[in-house]
Structure 1
């Protein structure tokens, strides 16, 4: 089921409530029907009356069970595709920093920080023959895919920290998964490994007095901790995923991460396959002010699949520990979706005629 709205948790709980109500109603309805049918069959004479009772009763029970099971377990799986985009800047050997579009501006920032600190990434990126489509796909796009996955993980980390930083949640029911707790993911994502590595292990943070850090205070610590720091272009981001204590985080395959708990599991596949997306020429030229209007724009696809456990239907307490799911996915779509950006963030269809009119007036004055 591919839903447009991110109300998976609320919809699941609503379905659960409706089905419980349906079961109660069915019981009383069944008793009533049984009494009526018994009265009717009292008029039926014959030696096979008991057999007729049994067969009809079993058929009715079977039909009701099939209907209830279908409603109970039929709406457990949900899928959502979120497509972001980025524009290569072949002249500057970079990606375009798009203001007010969180996904693009963040991966631009991450790339600059990685190039400033990691010589291997810098050499590999800058030695790419921009304009050679084959070489771009082989060397550039895999980097963007890793950066995009890091973008997702960092967004999730930030959202969870904010969500659970509330006294209504018991610390005993939560666990903080740090970089060393997810070795599979850490080993396969160079940007997560680089940016979350302790500052004392990184040369640019050792040999500079420049400090531009942010300290966060939480209910767990009175002293606070440095969650981000920037020095000479390098970036440090403290990484942790605060989740219900029984949660597990694993790498399923190269581009898929699976987070599972007692209520549901969510898999996230990040894919930059080299598929282009159409970005209006007028947007590139008039809105972004780009000179090379033929620089390619690529799709970054985030494929999200959610499956609620069958046993979760019978659990009535502690659902508040899992309700970050809807709020995070809603927030992530607003920050990453190309469709949301053009339709809601900048309202391109409305502002384009205005920009075009102003451009024409400017050209006439000149």
Structure 2
């Protein structure tokens, strides 16, 4: 017989299922009665008029209850927890191999500081402190420079990821067959609200290369430049969508391809709203300076770092998704919204540190290390015991 690891969870789940089934049966009966009365009522009589009102009320009530149960399932807040490690020796973000989130943030920091020495000086003079929250712009502005740089770097990761994901989604062959170009809009750097450009990473990296000293020809002669150009219908159209120099300078062609009549705003708590009459997405990058742990010996065995020379911090991306009731009732137009779920999944794959450790099989690897270590200890003891027995003087008869 097997015993459930979480019996309370199983009981709660069974109770929820039973309650949902009971509610579904009850709602079905109410709607069926309402429809039956509505079709048989004679509105020419007082009694018939009363039955019409009663039946319509029953049908509306049933639909309302169904909607009330459906909305919380699709309207969600995703809190994706990540981990950030900063070296005390270098004052830089430690890149965790195969954990893309840290490499993206480290590259962004390096690219920003390369082109603006004043920002690097701010980072060097500042310290990370733990804060409870920053719900207003004034509270955000009062944060230490390091906290703000990290918050902006996380936000830039989210926006850059969204930009590339939207382009890939709406410009795919499958999407082009079902999506009308008249129902989407392409927002470039010049179209996005200036409040987004308060993000120093976004403002610098999306600025045209001809306006930046790091990408002038006289400064690139001895550098290796990697450029990615846009491909449309199988051919390159010449637009440079990304460029990197060997010393760390970054250029990103920023665009957001969104359903028409979508607006982007920044809120007082420094989060970003992407709003359309069909949906509302809120993106908030969170870094409060709280320390975290990475698990047994992760720093030593996987990173080759001394835990006394690094600091581990928790960070997160909070993504809220809301759909108005009328959107849920629509049977068409969902092809303009499927990108939301796939983008959140991509962010979760990149940022979620627990998922990352599961993906690389860290617990299994740690178990193998422990077993191997103990086997070596036992082997060494056995060898020492055998050597002692060989070296021991012979016993007299």
Please tell me whether the aligned partners of residues 285 and 293 of structure 1 are also in contact (alpha carbons under 8 angstroms).
no
Please tell me whether the aligned partners of residues 230 and 236 of structure 2 are also in contact (alpha carbons under 8 angstroms).
no
Number of the residue aligned with 2:153? 147
Q: List runs of 5+ in structure 1 lacking aligned partners.
A: 1-18, 39-48
Distance 1:303 1:222 in 2: 36
Distance 1:301 1:353 in 2: 28
- Computed over aligned residues only, the root mean square deviation of the Cα atoms, in angstroms, reads 3.1
Which has the larger displacement, 238-247 or 73-82?
A: 73-82
Please tell me whether the aligned partners of residues 152 and 200 of structure 2 are also in contact (alpha carbons under 8 angstroms).
yes
Q: In the alignment, which of 155, 177, 180 is matched to residue 190 of structure 2?
A: 180
Please tell me whether the aligned partners of residues 127 and 145 of structure 2 are also in contact (alpha carbons under 8 angstroms).
no
Is 1:258 aligned to residue 273 of structure 2? yes
Number of the residue aligned with 2:8? none
Is 1:69 aligned to residue 64 of structure 2? yes
Q: List runs of 5+ in structure 2 lacking aligned partners.
A: 1-23, 132-142, 381-397
Alignment of 1:286-297 (within 5 A): 286-293=301-308, 295-297=310-312
**Larger C-alpha radius of gyration, 1 or 2?**
2
Q: Deviations over 1:216-241 (max 9, x none)?
A: 21249752311111223211111111
Is 1:191 aligned to residue 201 of structure 2? yes
Distance 1:264 1:276 in 2: 35
Q: Deviations over 1:182-239 (max 9, x none)?
A: 2334332000001111001111111323432111212497523111112232111111
Please tell me whether the aligned partners of residues 215 and 227 of structure 1 are also in contact (alpha carbons under 8 angstroms).
yes
Distance 1:188 1:273 in 2: 20
Which has the larger displacement, 138-147 or 184-193?
A: 184-193
Q: In the alignment, which of 205, 217, 222 is matched to residue 231 of structure 2?
A: 217
What is the SS of the residue equivalent to 2:77?
Answer: strand
Distance 2:339 2:346 in 1: 10
Is 1:113 aligned to residue 111 of structure 2? yes
Number of the residue aligned with 2:215? 205
Q: Deviations over 1:125-146 (max 9, x none)?
A: 233468x889xx7231211110
User: How many Å apart are 1:315 and its aligned residue?
Assistant: 3.2
**TM-score, length basis structure 1:** 0.79
Number of the residue aligned with 1:322? 337
What is the SS of the residue equivalent to 2:304?
Answer: coil
Change (3 A) 1:359 1:73: same
What is the SS of the residue equivalent to 2:251?
Answer: strand
What is the SS of the residue equivalent to 2:307?
Answer: coil
